[in-house]
Amino acid sequence: MTSPAPTPIRYREDLERPRQDEAELIDKLVAKLHGNNVWAYKKYRHAIRDAHAKSHGILIGELTVDPDLPEELAQGLFARAATYPVFGRLSSTSGALRHDRLRGIRGLGLKVLGVEGPRLQDDGATTQDFLLVTHREFPFKDAHAYLVRGMPLAWLLARLPDRVMMVVQWVLARVKPVLHRFGGKLPVALELFVEPNIPILGNTFFSSAPIRYGDYVAKFCLAPLSPSVKVLGSQLMPDDAGPEAFRDMVVEFFRHDSAVYELRVQLCTDPVTMPIEDATVAWPESVSPHRRVATVTFPAQDAYGDKRRIFGDDVLSFNAWTGLAAHRPLGSINRLKLKVYEASSTFRHEKNHQPLLEPVTVDVPE
């Protein structure tokens, strides 16, 4: 007899247990990352994001919530079948504008428009942001670990020349199999730089840290669905790829083709084996698999025209704390992102003389 599926736990406030010194740690991170912002502004004479600075495409599409979802999946934005306009921004994680042959985490920021309901912040907006990356777990447990180990890495990623980064990548690729032969492995933060460099549209993207899912708690992922993007997941970027290879591929792809992804959620069934505060722990699929709740469709389009690029890179902000109270980001890594992303966005908009706004339409202003 098959055992019944575990019951998802109900959201409650005491699932989060911040360190007593977390606010102080986050303030230190904001100050250090501001240094990266200032350094990049002096280098590029233009303000960029302190993470996911380089975009590879600014997409416009639709998110369609599946009909007849079971109660535990019909929550928040996904409570009823509906279709929403959406912006998507494809990016690489570094706080610098790197060559596309360099491996690492890729990102997809989704901004869903026309979303009604009680909000996390009294911002008067009707948008819901989802920030997704190609690594299923976050490399650092919490704000303390990020300050101690992640911040030095972020500092280096913003400053080392591409040629040095490529040498580091080459060395790590050769050290990895030697370590495996003797039962060792690279630290997770370094392992990211030797993972296969696949075309960005073929990736599966994850929320990495947990998010409130209405009455429940979940992690999200966005996976290729249409054959046109599924096939890209088994390909590799060529060794002689140019510095803007991702952008060029995205622009060429959407010149004639469309892409469909499915949005899935993985419900938390046990806060011990699926912790809220430790973002490095994988939630077991064998206990709670990812389940589809919606599709995201990007039709053929001009994916990186000048007006759209400026709007996506300089005007739009993506922050998981922009949205419904029903989808409150959870855990230390998400709590630090609230202040970090707000500070970076404010600096970028002020230096570039751009308005801070939440869009009400996907029509890019002239």
Do residues 51 and 165 make contact, with C-beta atoms less than 8 angstroms apart?
no
DSSP output for 101-122? TS---EEEEEEEES--S-BSS-
Helix (H, G, I), strand (E, B) or coil at 275: coil
Mean pLDDT of the chain: 93
Query: pLDDT tens digits, residue range 302-350?
Result: 999 999 999 999 999 999 999 999 999 999 999 999 999 999 999 999 9
- How far apart are alpha carbons 52 and 94 in whole angstroms? 5
Q: 76: Cβ–Cβ under 8 A, 6 or more apart, which residues?
A: 117, 212, 213, 214, 324, 326, 327
Residue 7 has a CB neighbour count (10 Å cut-off) of 11
277 with 14: CB under 8 angstroms?
no
pLDDT at residue 97 tops 80: yes
Residue 366 reports pLDDT greater than 80: no
pLDDT class of 1 with cuts at 50, 70, 90: very low
Q: Where are the domains of the chain?
A: 19-351
Euclidean distance between CA atoms 75 and 214, whole angstroms? 5
pLDDT tens digit string along 98-122? 999 998 899 999 999 999 999 999 9
Whether pTM exceeds 0.85: yes
Q: Which of 264, 24, 254, 5 is nearest to 144 (CA)?
A: 24
Does residue 212 contact residue 11 with C-beta atoms inside 8 Å? Answer: yes
CATH class of the domain whose range is 19-351: mainly beta
